[in-house]
């Protein structure tokens, strides 16, 4: 995979406390063992439970504190998607990472799980041989677990046993729509943030959105307010191939916006949304006066391909000060350099606030750098964009 969310500096367990407590749930004992060894190669992580199905996971979570669950999708007795709401009911602050194969079915189920409250997903190699030698998978998994483990501990104290979850046979909670996972609620590590003045008039000609960990849920929330926007909406979400195809389909169905993976050489049309395809950088170039998609296999930036920074740089070259850039929840700092270009050109940057971000890495980077004209809770971002996008052209 070339779409690792990027390295991020994650505070380890503070005050000399225990390593992050992880439960691995997979019906294959071999896979559980390999994932456990990969995780425990990092001294800040301890696998405290390893179980074979969703029901066993629910029972285990009711007896001991867990920070992060790595949850397989297809399992006997109770599969991962069915177990998810019961696990979140047992402990709303636990962070759940869905482990999925790189297939259309796996991608679709993973996105459904994200809409139902999972914090993140990780595409796992398709064979034990691949898993054994997949250094990128191991690095991505440990980084996600540490970031989400820190988030879980900030969200609330871990208990010595959670409230018993409702058995799967009992009246289930509704799973329609989507549920945002419990966010990071850390105390700011910096002083008051500097916010740039918002230009008093003029509307953007393009809306660009960058996101990573927790991004799909945030995208659904924001884009649900933008179905009437006349500007093109360009999206880079850190995801592998196949997953980005399914993400675009979910956006179309969930948000009522015509959305598809960007295709090399196609013209950019207003009122449509374009998602960067996995393993390609998504750029915009001018061809005969028409903004046009260009996909490249240039080297990853910030350990990511697709990456937000190259997309933003190309958009600034095309639209200049008429760019509205939005940085949503995610690990790392991808998007910061691109937003610097947006601001230098006279465009506008919006960042998601810390309290509603699953991981305040990417939006935190642009916020603490003083690049934002607004730092908003997730539910206020869509209406804010809608208001700016509907301005009269200057």
Active site residues: 212, 238, 334
Q: How many CA atoms lie within 13 A of 146 on its CB side?
A: 26
Give the DSSP letter string of 162-205.
PPPPPPTTSPPPP-SS--PPPPP-PPPSSSSPP-PPPPSS---S
150 with 184: CB under 8 angstroms?
yes
350 with 385: CB under 8 angstroms?
yes
- Strands across the sheet containing 20-25: 45-51, 20-25, 68-72, 95-100, 120-123
Largest CA distance in the chain: 64
Cis peptide before 239 (omega within 30 of 0): no
Enter the tokens of residue 144.
């996600």
- Phi and psi at 111, nearest 5°, equal -70, -35
Name the strand (E) or helix (H) holding 280: none
């Amino acid at each position: 995979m070339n779409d690792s969310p990027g390295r991020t500096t994650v505070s380890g367990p503070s005050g000399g406390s225990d390593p992050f407590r992880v439960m691995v749930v997979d019906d294959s004992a071999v896979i559980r063992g390999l994932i456990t060894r990969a995780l425990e190669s990092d001294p800040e992580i301890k696998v405290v439970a390893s179980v074979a199905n969703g029901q066993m996971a629910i029972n285990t979570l009711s007896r001991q504190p867990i920070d992060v669950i790595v949850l397989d999708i297809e399992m006997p007795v109770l599969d991962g998607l069915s177990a998810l709401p019961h696990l979140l009911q047992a402990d709303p602050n636990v962070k759940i990472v869905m482990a999925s194969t790189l297939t259309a079915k796996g991608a679709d189920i993973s996105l459904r799980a994200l809409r139902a409250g999972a914090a993140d997903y990780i595409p796992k190699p398709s064979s034990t041989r691949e898993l054994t030698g997949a250094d990128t998978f191991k690095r991505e998994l440990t980084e996600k677990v540490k970031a989400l483990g820190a988030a879980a501990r900030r969200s609330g104290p871990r208990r010595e046993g959670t409230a018993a979850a409702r058995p799967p046979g009992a009246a289930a909670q509704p799973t329609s729509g989507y549920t945002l996972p419990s966010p990071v609620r850390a105390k700011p590590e910096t002083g008051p943030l500097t916010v740039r003045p918002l230009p008093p008039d003029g509307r953007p000609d393009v809306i660009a959105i960058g996101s990573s960990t927790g991004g799909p849920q945030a995208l659904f929330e924001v884009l649900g307010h933008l179905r009437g926007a006349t500007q093109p909406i360009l999206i880079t979400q850190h995801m592998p191939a196949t997953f980005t195809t399914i993400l675009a389909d979910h956006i179309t169905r969930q948000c009522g916006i015509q959305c598809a993976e960007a295709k090399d050489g196609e013209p950019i049309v207003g009122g449509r949304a374009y998602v960067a395809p996995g393993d390609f950088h998504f750029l915009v170039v001018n061809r005969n006066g028409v903004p046009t998609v260009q996909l490249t296999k240039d080297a990853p930036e910030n350990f990511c391909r697709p990456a937000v920074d190259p997309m933003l740089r190309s958009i600034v070259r095309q639209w200049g000060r008429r760019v509205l850039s939005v940085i949503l929840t995610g690990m790392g700092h991808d998007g910061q350099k691109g937003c610097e270009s947006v601001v230098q050109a006279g465009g506008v940057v919006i960042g998601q606030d810390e309290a509603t971000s699953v991981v305040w890495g990417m939006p935190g980077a642009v916020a603490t750098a003083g690049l934002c004209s607004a730092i908003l809770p997730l539910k206020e971002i869509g209406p804010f964009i809608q208001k700016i996008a509907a301005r009269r052209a200057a």
